[in-house]
Structure 1
């Protein structure tokens, strides 16, 4: 009887030890998210503004999953489908709308941003039948390093979903926990501002200034099961 009790105790401790080890392994695995681009919404907006035959918008790198602290930028492709219209992307008036309604300035990735985030960003011209490819980020991703005197990317992702993790507001922390348990998603958007002009007019001709067009590019951030982080998981 004594041996049976000892064996049962050893088995119990063994199971507890294995369970603890597995839980620690799971907690050490980087949390994975998936960012989905709502292209149908963008296509509908372009159609409503009669721009479907003039502008095409797509994003690269969203097919794979990401650590919850990434990505820190988005790769955007803007196509000028027209024959004779110049499209200008007004970066200084573009914005990221975060999931809590906060609006952040869009930063076009370039060597200059490491020195000064406040520098004015010149509009990008897209001539007919050409495609602009840029990497864009949000001002919330960067922080100033006093030692180097430059701005560097932090651990904040472009979606900034971690901002509610340590919020002083209990309701926000609760919503973050719901996100982590996959009971809700977070939405954010990249709001693009375009100016259009005939190629022989340009952007700065007083009363002939091109019309202003705004297109909201919506994204949904989904928390994925921890199994997505396993190296043999082919769904990544």
Structure 2
């Protein structure tokens, strides 16, 4: 049995799990997803590779737990960048630029890489702030958080398109979402935040213009 370095076994378990998540985040920051493995995490923490599975079921659990820690911070940063008094079109642009800026931040690029690859939620996905029962697994809990933030992204985009009052809102919202998440990949391939951000803003404005033109054509 491993040496207990905390007052209780439970506290020891939680302390080691926290160290595993911190090690996972360090590896993701420094080398991305390719740098992450059970062996690498174990070496960072100073425990045997197989000991990891006393605390989590898999390395995938560690990735999800690392994401979960940063969801409130990420959501807050995006929210602060959107002017509630702005037009729906400007809100979409502000949101997209802020999301991109988070993706290229030295402290968040690894997070956005994982977020953009995590599966999108269904329309009834829970919010990231929802509490869960004690019986839920770490991966399920973290996945709820990821689904929640994806759901908030989708809801925000859908709300702005609804406010624009154009036909086929769901289609335009889907295009907008894809533009935002694809911009993360383009940035990862070498595009600067300003270059990609300007192109992203222009693309969103182009969508709004096209939607308004379509509305005018259908009305006439």
Q: TM-score range with shorter-chain normalisation?
A: under 0.3
Q: TM-score scaled to structure 1, two decimals?
A: 0.25
Structure richer in strand, relative to its length? 1
Larger % of helix: which? 2
- Higher-Rg member (1/2): 1
